[in-house]
Amino acid sequence: MGYGGYPKYVSVAEKRVKAAIALAKLKKKNPNIQPVIIEGRSLAKNWWGKAWNNNLESYADYSNRISRGRSYVKNNAVLDLNIVKGSVIAQVKGSRVKPYEVVVKLDALSQEKWSQVTELCNHSIVSLEQLVEGKFPERLEILFTDHKYGFFPSPEEIHFGCNCPDWAYMCKHVAAVLYGIGSRLDNDPMLFFEIRDVDSHALIKKTMESKLDSMLDNANKKSNREIEEKDIFNIFGV
C-alpha cells in the first residue's frame, strides 16, 4: 500500500519484470502455455488485429472500459491465452502473486448473419490466402466491421468472467484478454473463424460456387461479341 491509502506506484519496467517472473513460474508447470507478447508500441500491426480492436472500441458500452486493459496487455500481463471453438481461456498477472483466470465466450455466428455475409461476399473472396491476409476489396470490410451484418461480435455476443475481486462490468484483466485476442489474430487470422465457430473453407467454397453459377448463367446467354452466321459468311465467304 502506498501513501494516503493509494496503491504504491509501480513502473512499467517493474510490471514487466513481475510478469516475466510469473510467466517463468507458469512455464515450469506447463511448458505449452501461450503468453501474449506485445513488441513495440502498437497492439496490432496487421488488418485482422487492428480490425478486431477497432470493432471493440467502436461500441459505446466498451469504449470507456476496454482502455483499462491496454497497459496490462502492453506489459505482457496476459501470461496465457488459448482459443478454442467459441471460447478463450486466459491467465492474467494482476496485483496478487497467483494469476487471475479469465474466460471469454462468444456466440456462434447465427445462420441469419451467415446468409447475409455470404450474400454480401458473393464471389469476391476467392482464396484462403486472400482471406488470411485481409486482401479483399475495401467495400467487403462490411463483412466484418458492420455492426448489424458483420462477422465481428457485438457486446451482446461476448460473455466473460474473471475471478478477481473487481466487481466492475469489465475488469482490466478481461479488457487485457480482449486486446490479447486481437494480438492472436494479428499472428494467426484463422483463429477468428475458430472463435466464431465458422468454417472459413465453407465461406470460400460458397463464394466460388456463386462465381461458378454466375459463369454458367452467362454461358447460356448469347454474348454481344458472338458473330452471327450471316456475318461469318460475309467475312470468310463460306
Give the tens place of pLDDT for each residue, 30-86: 889 999 998 888 898 888 899 899 999 988 878 778 888 998 999 999 999 999 888
DSSP 80: E
pLDDT attached to residue 79: 96
Query: What is the pTM for the complete model shown?
Result: 0.77
Using the predicted structure, report yes or no on whether residue 12 has a pLDDT greater than 80: no
Per cent of the chain over pLDDT 70 is 67
Q: Which of 84, 77, 102, 86 is nearest to 26 (CA)?
A: 77
Tens-digit pLDDT profile for residues 184-238: 998 888 888 888 887 766 666 655 554 444 444 555 555 454 445 444 344 434 4
Please tell me which residue, 215 or 140, carries the higher pLDDT value: 140
